[in-house]
Amino acid sequence: MLKIAVCVSGGGTNLQALIDGVNKGLIANTRIVRVISNNRNAYALERAAQAGIDALCVSPRDFDDREQFNKALVRAVDEAEPDLVVLAGFLVVIPPELIRKYENRIVNIHPSLIPSFCGTGYYGLKVHEAALARGVKVTGATVHFVDEGTDTGPIIMQKPVAVQAGDTPEILQRRVMEEAEWVILPQSINLIASGKVQVVDGHVEIDSRKG
């Protein structure tokens, strides 16, 4: 059984895709053991409560400095004893200590085809604004392991999404979520839970023979 802790900041639609994926059996052999939000008002916390999942808020506002917040965040993850940590729209700089402790055991979903429109400053709607400003015809989403860089870790899955005439950042964001994020995040977790994902020399290898 793969125990996952999910970190969120906002609406939690990717968290919902994980909850639904587990309930429908699309994500095999997996249990969401805890949801952690940095934002007390995140609707994701409501989604966790509705699904009966242990959920808590660890907000930087409740701590004197970043170091104290980072410690509390690491503690909140450790307490849940997860096999895997999933950053599902978690818009916080991840403490290096957490990254070192959970090497190749933290997964992030990013709303573009990495290495386009990623790195510092590219998060949420800003990613789609930048894609439209550049005039790309194809964008998409990426699921990757987290290393100490920003959006630089080994790529697990990507899915392209067409940009359409008349797209606004909000319309494009919704299409990328529906067509890519809510599909490849559950698929990636299922692959990991099935023991099919390995990191070799900094790249992900997926074993399609197993299971």
Catalytic residues: 110
Which one of residues 2, 13, 85, 191 is an interface residue with ligand GAR (CB under 6 A)? 13
Number of residues that bind ligand GAR (CB under 6 A): 17
From the list 12-20, 45-53, 164-172, 197-205, the region that binds ligand GAR by CB under 6 A is 12-20
Nearest Cα neighbor of 33 from 68, 72, 85 is: 85
**Options 52-60, 71-79, 119-127, 152-160: segment touching ligand GAR (CB under 6 A):** 119-127
Cα distance between residue 147 and residue 168, in whole Å = 32
Q: Rg for the chain (alpha carbons), in Å? A: 16
Q: Which is nearer to ligand GAR, 2 or 35 (CB)?
A: 35
Give, as ranges, the residues between 42 and 71 that touch ligand GAR (CB under 6 A).
Answer: 44
Closest CA to 30 of 202, 193, 161: 193
| Contacts (CB under 6 A) with ligand GAR, residues 99-118 | 109-111
Residue 136 burial (CB < 10 Å; 0-12/13-18/19+)? middle
Minimum CB distance to ligand GAR, residue 202 (Å): 20
Helices (H) and strands (E) in the chain, counts: 7, 9
The token pair that represents 87 in the structure block = 């950053």
For position 169 contacting ligand GAR by CB under 6 A, the verdict is no
List residues binding ligand GAR (CB under 6 A): 8, 10-14, 44, 88-89, 109-111, 123-124, 127, 177, 181
